Structure 1
Amino acid sequence: MSQVRKASPENYVYKSRLDKDLVFETSEGLHVSTKISYFRGDVIEYLLSEIQELKLKIQAIESRRTITGDSLSSFWDNEYDEVWNEC
């Protein structure tokens, strides 16, 4: 699926299409240019899903609490005090 266009008398440019979104051009001078195109609706839908995923990651990070020595010992005392005393 290549189309050839003549860029100059001594140089040809070959335009190839990999799929509906990806087109690239090569020339005999080994210059390669790539263009990826998307419809606006596809990009907006993709970006909205990425933004939503990032918001969820931020919420998960914000909901984490830092465990300090005091909070860990408090947790241990409350949670395992009876078990510790039985040993």
Structure 2
Amino acid sequence: MSRRRYTYPEAAEALRVPERWLRRNINDLPHSRKGNTVTFTDDDLDRIDAMFHHEPAAGPLAVAPSAPSSPAAHPLAALKPLPARR
């Protein structure tokens, strides 16, 4: 079974990001390296997309929030803001 390997330009096109962004952030991204050759698999591209994918929280493209599955309070509900500094 052969896996598809993407070069920097191919991966950048698939992810719709500038190639220089991939090169600049390579140490934080999943990839394969053999010598000086860097490649990305389909799984690497999926993981990169998951790492940096954000859905809009407001506006016409926002996804409607789903109803909570349990009536328990949110884990951060007890947090209160700090008093104002003077």
| TM-score, structure 1 normalization | 0.25
More contact order relative to length (CA 8 Å, sep ≥ 6): 2
Q: More strand per residue: 1 or 2?
A: 1
Larger gyration radius, structure 1 or structure 2:
1
| TM-score, structure 2 normalization | 0.25
